[in-house]
Amino acid sequence: MSGIEQNNTGGTPMTMIQALRSAMDVMLERDDNVVVFGQDVGYFGGVFRCTDGLQTKYGKQRVFDAPISENGIAGAAIGMAAYGLRPVAEIQFADYIYPAYDQIVSEAARMRYRSGGSFTSSLVFRTPCGGGIYGGQTHSQSPEAIFAHATGLRTVMPSNPYDAKGLLIASIENDDPVIFLEPKRLYNGPFDGHHDRPVTAWSKYPNNRVPEGYYNVPLDKAAIAREGKALTIITYGTTVWVAKAAAEDAGIDAEVIDLRSLWPLDLDAIVNSVKKTGRCIVLHEATRTCGFGAELVALVQEHCFYHLQAPVERVTGWDTPYPHAQEWDYFPGPSRVIDAMQRVLED
């Protein structure tokens, strides 16, 4: 079960924002080499409040504001990591990470390899991603595929406060560069794609407790967000909640895998589930063509071919820029997942 499901006693109710802040607080306290910086991250505490209070607590040498320069933030973080710090750098929106792409892919991802292991890039780039918030073209994107494609990076995306804290702590402690994608749609509460229904805040959610202190959720390990036997839905981030809602709505016994670590990933979890169910849907917000779903489909085909009883379906964002007015025509909500489940079960 996903962390939040298994952790409904003890701990403190936290939103994903509070959980992420707690992770940084814990690591700033625990390791003198951890520094946190980015646009509006210091005094103001971040445009999403994820770093609220950290500068006051740890000082400007540890938590500070940065110029509006994503390549500068990334390059400076890489230099700091080469020195021996563990920077946790924030890119305000994943949509604005592209100026840093050269630094992340050409430099951070390859530092250990090209230097024969002498220089490393033990750092984390945190960045809010995903749609479902009327963010339009440049506040909604899900660029995980371009990072999953870059050798040397780890790409991680949590779907709930417990995992968010545990995965961020594990990412900060990890010695490889980590792209830590935070679905901003989930910052304040779970979201199942039913935009016409009232949204539940994390505080109202029954299983929202997060330990105050140190713990981690290991990288490269998926979670079973919903157990089932009829088919497997492989997903991550906001669409974990969409998949669960779709299964409940349609009364289909779907197994929902929350990948958590996109790459490197937990292949065993995928293979075990698909071999059990024989049917598979890949679900993500990002656009379809050459999206991360294509890699997931290929892995399922390679490893589960003789167990498959139907073609693997992809439910994804359309191959268009993320629109504003057509938000709910674009976002892969429960009805599209239900349609796909019915097609997969018909075969």
Partner 1 sequence: MSSPQIPATSEPLHLHVPEPSARPGQATDFSYLKLSPAGAVDKPPVDVSASQTAPLTGQLIRVLDDNGDAVGPWAADIDDAVLLRAMHAMLKTRAYDARMLIAQRQKKTSFYIQCLGEEAIAVGQTLALRDDDMQFPTYRQQGILVTKEVSLVDMICQVLSNAADPLKGRQLPIMYSYKDYGFFSISGNLTTQYIQAVGWAMASAIKGDTRIATAWVGDGATAEGDFHAALTFAHVYRAPVVLNVVNNQWAISTFQAIAGGENTTFAARGVGYGIPSLRVDGNDLLAVYAASRWAAERARSNLGPTLIEWVTYRAGPHSTSDDPSKYRPADDAQHFPLGDPIDRLKQHLIKRGLWSEQQHDEVRTELDAEVLRALKEAETHGLLGSDNRPGAALMFEDVYKDMPEHLRRQRQQLGV
> Is 264 a binder of partner 1 (CB under 8 A)?
yes
- Supply the minimum distance, in Å, between the C-beta of residue 224 and partner 1: 19
Give yes or no for a cis peptide into 264 (omega within 30° of 0): yes
> Is 9 a binder of partner 1 (CB under 8 A)?
no
Instruction: For residue 260, count CB atoms less than 10 angstroms from its CB and return exposed for 0-12, middle for 13-18, buried for 19 or more.
Output: buried
- Supply the minimum distance, in Å, between the C-beta of residue 204 and partner 1: 38
> Is 230 a binder of partner 1 (CB under 8 A)?
no
> Is 294 a binder of partner 1 (CB under 8 A)?
no
Query: Is residue 29 within 8 Å of residue 172, measured between CB atoms?
Result: no
> Is 220 a binder of partner 1 (CB under 8 A)?
yes
Query: Is residue 120 within 8 Å of residue 111, measured between CB atoms?
Result: yes
* 276 vs 231: CA distance, rounded Å: 8
Kind plus residue range of the DSSP H or E element containing 231: strand 231-235
Question: Cβ–Cβ contacts within 10 Å for residue 157, how many?
Answer: 27
> Is 216 a binder of partner 1 (CB under 8 A)?
no
* Catalytic residue from among 139, 194, 307, 324: 139
Q: Give the distance from CA 345 to its chain's centroid.
A: 28
* 131 vs 141: CA distance, rounded Å: 6
196 Cβ neighbours under 8 A, 6+ residues apart: none
Q: Which is nearer to partner 1, 91 or 111 (CB)?
A: 111
Q: Segment near partner 1 (CB under 8 A), from 4-12, 101-109, 126-134, 321-329?
A: 101-109
Q: Give the distance from CA 267 to its chain's centroid.
A: 17
Q: Which is nearer to partner 1, 83 or 134 (CB)?
A: 83
**Residue written as tokens 């494609």?**
149
Q: What's the number of CA atoms in the CB half-sphere (13 Å) around residue 175?
A: 8
> Is 115 a binder of partner 1 (CB under 8 A)?
yes
**Of the candidate residues 9, 10, 118, 306, the single one contacting partner 1 (CB under 8 A):** 118
> Is 80 a binder of partner 1 (CB under 8 A)?
yes
> Is 305 a binder of partner 1 (CB under 8 A)?
no
> Is 304 a binder of partner 1 (CB under 8 A)?
no
- Based on the residue annotation, tell me whether 139 is a catalytic residue of this protein: yes
Q: Which residues of this protein are in contact with partner 1, per CB under 8 A? A: 35, 61-62, 66-67, 69, 71-72, 75-80, 82-85, 99, 102-103, 106-107, 110-120, 151-152, 154, 174-176, 220, 264, 267
Which residues belong to the active site?
139
